[in-house]
Every structure is written in C-alpha cells, then in structure tokens.
Amino acid sequence: FSTTSPGTVVFEILVFEFTSVGDFQVALGGILLLIVYICIAFELIHRTLAALLGSFGCMLLLTIFDKLPSLSTALSWVDVGTLGLLFGMMVLVEVLSMTGVFEYSAVWAYRVSRGNLTRLVLLLCVVTMLLSAFLDNVTTILLLAPVTLRLCKLLEIKPQPIIITEALFSNIGGTMTMIGDPPNHHHRK
C-alpha cells in the first residue's frame, strides 16, 4: 500500500492462535455474566455468593485460556478507594439507622408533603438531587433509600418505582458539580 506521510509509518500486527474453544471466549464470558445476573435478579442464590462464584468462574475461564493474570495485575483491578467509600457509607447508614434518624426523616418528609404522594416523591427527588450535587451518587442513594423504604412501608406502597426515580434524580444532581458524579472526576484530571 502507499501513504502520503513524509515520515516512516509503523504498524504492529498481533496474531493470536485460538484453540477450538478460543473462538468463543467472549461468548463464554458473556454467558457467565448472564448466569450471574440471572442468579442475582431471581434471587436463586445470595447475591454475594453469585458474585463470588462468577468471579471464580471468570478466573477458571482465564486459566483454561491460559490468560490468568498475575496477582499484582489482578490486585491492580481492585479500586480500594471506591470499596472503602462504599464500606464506610454502609457502616454509616447502619449506625444511623440504629439512632432512628431515618424514621425521623421519613416522618418529617411526610409532614412537609402533607400526606400527598406526589409531593412526597417530588420532595424526595429534589433532596436526592441536591445531595447528589455534593456527594457521589451511590452515597446519596445509600443515605436516602432507608428513608424511602420506611415511608413506603408506612404508606403500604411499592418502593421500587420511587427508588428508581431517586436514582435518576441522583444522576441529574451529580452532573451539576464536579464532585457529584464519578465521571466528572475523570474529566477533571
């Protein structure tokens, strides 16, 4: 082939030899992921066990395809900061739930909305959006989900649509500032 580049053009071609199963590596990984999702979604086994079995299955597939990473490489895939933040927030939510702050917040939100479900959902969504502008999205949902669950239990309504709406508003609020959404951190760097 020809080029109009004044300098030298360098190409690197990598050739991988696949075994008969090697052609289906991505498909096998996708099937494993689908099995884990099904186990979690339909609660066939506990979600922690499903995730652990999925990760072991992934390592087994990598071993079969002779692509098992070194321990240092596998450990570099773990984002300790994110895990620490989530663990800390879960501990905080558990401690706060023992103090009754979520029940108090639920009663306050119900009083402010005067029992009107539309106002209540709007209030929860606006609070979610504002908190998410200054906290990351996962933390905001971890803090507000217990309040929403308490309210929904008291009102005898399904919490899923309200929590999904809060998650959407959390994403919207997270885009308002540079600290609210993890992708904003990457753009800042």
- pLDDT tens-digit readout, 131-179: 888 777 877 888 888 888 888 888 888 989 989 999 999 888 888 876 6
Q: Is the pTM of this model over 0.75?
A: no
Whether the pLDDT of residue 93 is over 80: the answer is: no
Q: In whole numbers, what is the pLDDT of the chain averaged over residues?
A: 81
Distance, CA of 3 to chain centre:
46
Across the range 17-39, mean pLDDT stands at 81
For the record, the structure tokens of 95 come out as 């401690």
* Nearest by Cα to 83 from 14, 128, 138: 138
DSSP 93-161: HHHHHHHTHHHHHHHHHHHHHTT-HHHHHHHHHHHHHHHHHHS-HHHHHHHHHHHHHHHHHHHT--SHH
DSSP-based three-state secondary structure for 189: coil
Q: What is the pLDDT of residues 170-188, one digit of tens each?
A: 888 888 876 666 565 544 4
